[in-house]
Amino acid sequence: MSLPEIVVVPAPILRQTLKPIESFDGQLKELAKTMIEVMHQADGVGLAANQIGIDAQIFVYGFDGFELKGKKQPTVSPQAVVNPVIEVLDPTTDEMTEGCLSIPGLSGPVARPIGIRLHGFDLDGNQFSRDIEGYEARVVQHETDHLNGKLYIDYITDPTKLRRDQE
Ligand code: NI
């Protein structure tokens, strides 16, 4: 079975607010599994449903632990989040370079709140709330933005700060 292609800008679905998920069935689990495969194949740390052309409020994310600005970022195993809502716990922002699989070849600095509470559902329909900080909080905010039709470039008001990746 071949994996779906990653949708890139300016595809309209990347600018849509996606539909909330109501059925936590086998099909949803299959979708999450496919999304994790696509994310890994593309070497990404997160992927939202509209990035493979699906209109549904689900994203996946996960990455291996690493050191960032002298702080150990713990490993996050690949997982899905359904119908996410973010509450900002610590509005202090920090800035870090972000890229996006749907905007190939570009990256730029994005300031985001450093502490959040993520409200969402797992694949079985269990509701959860989890406090998240550090790099994980950034990834979760980036992916939740996707489900609301928002891209990281929207935060970059000075276009000269966008970098074209070296090949
Ligand atoms: Ni992205």
Q: Which residues pair with 81 in a beta bridge?
A: 59
Single out the residue of 76, 73, 115 nearest to residue 94, CA to CA.
115
Question: What is the 17 CA–ligand 1 centroid distance (Å)?
Answer: 15
Q: Phi and psi of 100, rounded to 5°?
A: -150, 135
| DSSP three-state, residue 98 | strand
Please identify which of the residues 5, 30, 143, 167 carries the catalytic annotation.
143
Could you confirm whether 143 is annotated as catalytic? yes
29 Cα to the center of ligand 1, angstroms: 21
Please report how many Cα atoms fall inside a 13 Å half-sphere around the Cα of residue 120, on the Cβ side.
26
* H-helix or E-strand spanning residue 138: helix 134-147
Q: What are phi and psi of 93, to 5 degrees?
A: -105, 155
Q: Please count the residues of the chain.
A: 167
Interatomic CA distance for residues 67 and 49, integer angstroms: 29
Q: How far is the CA of 89 from the centre of ligand 1 (A)?
A: 23
What spacing in Å lies between the alpha carbon of 69 and ligand 1's midpoint? 22
Confidence (pLDDT) at 1:
66
Read off the pTM. Answer: 0.96
> pLDDT by residue for the chain (167 residues), tens digit each?
689 999 999 999 999 999 999 999 999 999 999 999 999 999 999 999 999 999 999 999 999 998 988 888 899 999 999 999 999 999 999 999 999 999 999 999 999 999 999 999 999 999 999 999 999 999 999 999 999 999 999 999 888 999 998 65
Please name the residues in contact with 53: beta carbons below 8 A apart, sequence gap of 6 or more: 4, 7, 11, 13
